[in-house]
Structure 1
Amino acid sequence: SDAIIIVEAATKGGALITAEYANNYHREVFAVPGHLNQTFSQGCNKLIRENKAQIYTKPEDVIEALNWDQPVSKTAPTDKTALALEFTEEESQILALFRQKPDWHIDELSWRTQIHLGKLASLLLNLEFRGMVRTLPGKKYRSSPKQFDCQFLVNRTTTC
């Protein structure tokens, strides 16, 4: 599955183990926040607090996170090579790192690319607008499945 939603979980148990496996396989994890004093809300609250799950309050949370809400255009090209995206040298450098591993913290990206945090945040936002990366809780970023549908060319133009 692309995502899991944990509705209730104690601080130990199968739901948290499932969430751990989902995170290890780079799947989206959502948790329903609950009352602080309820035993079966403590696990969900812990996942959210530790940035191991996104807050789930409505179905749109999942739809948005998985990019399911983007309607398919009837005139959209069916051939993956029909769509070309151009990236700056710095954007290409960032995307190359995401091809090595799907999840990165912004500090780690800054260190690896030697791009100042302010500029890097702007570049990541631009890549997110283009559907190449997604923002996660805790200043982390995840490569979008769209990135792996694209083939990067030497001249920094990408065909998808």
Structure 2
Amino acid sequence: MNDWYKLVIADFNRIEIQTIMQHYDDINDVIDEDINYLSNYYSISKDKFIKLQNITIEEFLNVKMKYINEKIKIICIKDEEYPFILKQIENPPVFLYTKGDINILHNHKIMAIVGTRKMTQYGKDGVIKFAEGLSNENITIVSGLALGIDKVALETAVKNNGKVIAVVGSGLDIVYPPSNRKLWDEIIEKGVIVSEYPLGVQPFNWNFPERNRIIAGLAKGVIVGESAKEGGSLITAKLALDFSREVFAIPGNLSFPSFEGCNNIIKRGEAKLVTEVYDILEEFNWENNNIGIELDISKLSKNELNIYNILYDEKSMDAIINETGYNTSEAISIIMELELKGYVKSINGAKYIRC
């Protein structure tokens, strides 16, 4: 648990934490700062800064042990383990609460599948087709663990031994809906469950639109499997567009109200019509690129990981140097090592991307 988590213990909200983090590199510098200055400058209650300064080592360790006992790992946005692609979205979560294999969060090929809770058999069949096909191509599936389309997508991927990420709108001690307990446990065993909410937070309605931005932020693209004219999956699709992700939709019968949303975003040009898995593979140039297993990034050095993390999209050497701060010789040396190890490949002679 990163020391920055003391801000959560002291009851700072996400916006306040983000603001403070932008101005300080070390939480101890905040703790040592004058309380009146901090309160006036950031327009944050003085009581919160007093509480922050009064947090004891014992109190901090007690909170830390509570999460360790629940087998929950907390990833701070300042940690190297934080998914680089998620950092790029507007208003990323400051802390991620995770249970399962966190390495999956760094997979290069991640697709979101979202849709209505009140699915038709046609919608279910279509999502099974895509979830199964994408899993067979070693593409990680991320979804929201709601009933309906979300559950079917994750369930199908798990059954096909695929990698999965479930993003939930509650603390990780609250299984919601309760009927998903079996799938919840399977995902912890074979994938990872993610939340931005601490233990004890109930699945309030307003949590789910916020959860949707994480689903869109982790993925290269979003597939809307079935959606009515309005719904949470369309919020996820809109967020994906805002984050410069690709959006796809499975078309439905014109007489099905539950497909009106899918058909509309296709008609408006906001989503690309897809009818088979190859449509997705072709869009991202993933066809005939079945590696078999995801690479183990835990074997990479800190410098190698810094460059590997930014290569979720193809980048030129100049872009790599600008984003990482390495000089030319350092960047070339690290990339050559990554290529030799099979983590990165050169494309078009002058750009690089993860394998």
What's the TM-score, normalizing by structure 1? Answer: 0.47
Q: Which has the higher contact order (CA 8 A, sep 6+)?
A: 1
For the pair shown, the structure with the greater C-alpha radius of gyration is: 2
Looking at secondary structure, tell me which structure has more helix per residue. Answer: 2
